[in-house]
Chains A and B, each alone.
Chain A
Amino acid sequence: MTAATVHSARDPWQVRLAIAAHPSWWQERYGDEVAATVADIAAARGGLPRVDVMGLFLRGIALRGRSSIVFWLGATLIGMEILATSTNVEGFHADRAWGSILAHSGWGVMLAVPLVAGSAACATGSRARPGSVRSRLAGLARSAAAVLGFAALGYLTIVVLVVVTSGWPLASSFDLGYTAAFAAMTVSAFGLGTLLGSALPRWLALPAGIALGLLAMISDGWQNGELRWRNVTGSVLTFDANWGAPGTANLHITVVTAAYAGIFLTAALIAVALRPRTLRVVALVTTLAVVIAGSALISQPLLHYVGSRGSDIRGLGELHCAGSAPRICLWPEQDATVGPQMRDELTDLYQRTEAFGFPVAATISSGIVDHPESVAAIWVSSSTRPDSVSMRTFAEAVIGQGACVDQPKRVNPDDQSAANLGLGLLLGGISDSEIARTAGITTVDPVTGKPHQDTAAEIWDYYGIHTKAEAKDAVSRWFAERTTCTG
């Protein structure tokens, strides 16, 4: 009599799951008698012993983990995700809106990419051994559950930490675009690692997976649309969760990321099913050729399309608007945290700008770009940082009104910069360091070869602004030469 002959399908799923969490040797040795013991306890107590079953499940995970490199890589992955987020400038702080929280929590996902690829490569090594196609695919499903489960657990842990640190979201909108993009890039990394693991020996597949993941992590993606391996790796594995307004991912980028994930996962399934190894190497090479060619074909059109279209926006119905001239509209999370301070500052800046006789939109709105309703508004930061509205950002927003629709004259960047600085000076001044940082450039002295950073005085000289009268002239000239969007 073997244990397998009395295996009972009538056991509750929780019991079967708890037993399945254990390594296969344990399942063969103890699985059926443990199920019988749990059934005895359930009969005696009149119900499933949930604590027992949960403990059994956790022991199974721990037992499996102790002998699995995937487990340790997964634990490292979660640790690195948390570490990466904690060392970020904002730490675990995010704006109190789901979109911002979910996007911010993905900061560590880039770090997860190399480890996911490495874990998948490692886990696949064992499926390169002889066995039926079905058993190899079942093994792939198990390693997918383990590797992707660790990645998801890390992400969810950070989401919880961000919510605990920042507070429960105050805005109701729920954008899963970033989360979908993070999931897709993680699946891409899993697919690539599996491909490598199926085609290469484990000693080579593991470092190759980690190396490609690192290459993707440090890559800028297709910022320049150049066909370089670094660009390709970055775009297919991380394409590109950062394109979008805060809290609202760009749908098209998310779709492209998901498409790459689909290609890699399909190729991984085929490679694991194929025998002998030569065919798996062919699958790896073919897939890489397809993604490189695909990247080359879609990168420029996509960059052009996304660049011309701008980011998707949040629902405007959520904005909290109050007042008139100026009417100030803020997101709920802003209104609840820094709303009073922002409204006071914006009203003061608005009134002083109007006092100079410059045209100012009567509506000051938060976080809206490229939307018909925002044309008649001054755009300000959607951040909840108290210092997010500075003299400079407000001045840029006001001057930006004069460059936002079809103009009779092409915008000269120097004129716009002069107007920005001029209005900043009129409204109370901008610090020298901020001027040098935002308007200055670094040049290399042709004689000495030493770099030179423009000073604030040199910048004022360049734009010909030394007095308030000159500043007013620069701003007036800017508005006189173009229609504004003040509507």
Chain B
Amino acid sequence: MQEPTFLVLAGLASGPKHGYALIQEATELTEGRVTLRVGTLYAALDRLAKEGLVVRAGEEIVDGRLRRSYELTGEGRETLDAEVERLRLLSTRVAARLRHARAAIA
């Protein structure tokens, strides 16, 4: 899973969000390292919607503009869980190797 896709799914983990809120969430999660571009965000949302991982949660008009929010489907939440687990295992293994390497040098 590519990082922008992961960040979109991760942004929706705490509940439905609209486009700009997802961009803010990605910036916050990565402590400013990643700024999702609008084109990237909506390409990811379109792909995730087609795969059935996110759905529209509702829409409202704010200041004369359409604000549409998205939420995770059950399958989307499972996919996110699986990805988080994969990343956790990966980082655990890499951390272990680093520890061994440091011990060998010492």
Quick check: A41 and B66 within 8 Å, CB to CB?
no
CB distance B66 to A33 under 8 Å?
yes
Leading 10 A-B pairs by shortest Cβ distance: A37-B19, A40-B20, A36-B65, A59-B39, A56-B39, A32-B66, A55-B39, A33-B68, A52-B38, A6-B66
Q: Report how far A32 CA is from B62 CA in the complex, Å.
A: 12
- A55 and B61 contact, Cβ closer than 8 Å, known pairs A36-B19, A37-B23: no
A37-B38, A49-B38, A52-B38 known; A59-B43 Cβ under 8 A: yes
Q: Mark B48-89, 1 if CB is under 8 A from A, else 0.
A: 000000000001011011111000000000000000000000
Q: Are B67 and A51 in contact (CB under 8 A)?
A: no
Q: Are B18 and A55 in contact (CB under 8 A)?
A: no
Residues of A within 8 A of B65 (CB): 6, 8, 32, 35-36, 39
Fill in one digit per residue for A30-74: 1 if any B CB lies within 8 Å of its CB, else 0. 101111111111001000010111011011100000000000000
Interface contact A33-B38, CB-CB below 8 Å:
no
Contact A30 B37 (CB under 8 A): no
Given contacts A33-B66, A55-B40, contact A6 B23 (CB under 8 A): no
On chain B, the residues within 8 Å of A51 by CB distance are 37
CB distance from B24 to the nearest CB of A (A): 8
Chain A residue with minimal CB distance to B22?
Answer: A37
In the docked arrangement, what's the CA distance between A248 and B22, Å? 58
Min distance, Cβ A113 to any Cβ of chain B, angstroms = 35
Residues from chain A with Cβ under 8 Å of B67 in the complex: 33, 36
22 contacts between A and B (CB under 8 A): A1-B59, A6-B65, A8-B64, A33-B19, A33-B67, A34-B19, A34-B42, A35-B65, A36-B19, A36-B20, A36-B62, A36-B67, A37-B18, A37-B23, A37-B41, A38-B38, A44-B20, A55-B40, A56-B37, A56-B38, A56-B39, A59-B39
Instruction: Let me know if A282 is at the binding interface, CB within 8 A.
Output: no
Contact yes or no, B46 A30, CB < 8 A: yes
Q: How far is the CB of B43 from chain A (nearest CB, A)?
A: 6
Using a CB–CB distance below 8 Å, which chain B residues touch chain A?
A: 18-20, 23, 37-43, 46, 59, 61-62, 64-68
Nearest Cβ in chain A — how far from B81, in angstroms?
A: 27
- Separation of A42 and B32 alpha carbons in the complex (Å): 18
Contacts of B38 in A (CB 8 A): 34, 37-38, 41, 49, 52-53, 55-56
CB of A36 within 8 A of CB of B39, answer no
Residues of A within 8 A of B66 (CB): 1, 3, 6, 32-33, 36
The A-B contact count (CB < 8 A) is 63
Q: What CA separation (Å) do A52 and B40 show in the bound complex?
A: 9
A60: min CB distance to chain B, Å: 8
Out of B20, B43, B61, B64, which one reaches A37, CB within 8 Å? B20
Contacts beyond the supplied A1-B61, A1-B66, A33-B68: 12 A-B pairs with Cβ under 8 Å: A1-B59, A6-B65, A32-B65, A33-B19, A33-B67, A40-B19, A41-B23, A44-B20, A52-B37, A52-B38, A55-B40, A59-B43
Which of A's residues lie within 8 Å of B, judged by CB?
1, 3, 6, 8, 26, 29-30, 32-41, 44, 49, 51-53, 55-56, 58-60
Question: Which residues of B lie under 8 Å from residue A40 when comparing CB positions?
Answer: 19-20
Q: How far does the alpha carbon of A34 sit from the alpha carbon of B65 in the complex, in Å? A: 10
A36 to B41, CA, bound (A): 13
* Cα distance, A188 to B33, chains bound together (Å): 52
Give, as a whole number of angstroms, the nearest-CB distance from A51 to chain B: 7
Give the CA-CA distance A29 to B70 in the complex, in Å: 13
Q: Give the distance in Å from the alpha carbon of A60 to the alpha carbon of B39 in the complex.
A: 8
B26 smallest CB distance to A (angstroms):
12
Q: Is there an interface contact between B20 and A41, defined as CB atoms closer than 8 Å?
A: yes
Provide the residues of chain A in CB contact with B43, threshold 8 Å. Answer: 59
Instruction: Give the Cβ gap from B2 to chain A, nearest Cβ, in Å.
Output: 15
Measured between beta carbons, the chain A residues less than 8 angstroms from B20 are 36-37, 40-41, 44
> Which B-chain residue is minimally distant from A49 (CB atoms)?
B38
A40–B67 Cα gap in the complex (Å)?
10
Nearest CB on B from A35, distance (A): 7
Point out the residues of chain B lying under 8 angstroms from A39, CB to CB. Answer: 65
A58 & B39 in contact (Cβ 8 Å cutoff): yes
**Which residue of chain A is the closest to B68 with respect to CB atoms?**
A33
- The residue on B at minimum CB distance from A18 is B39
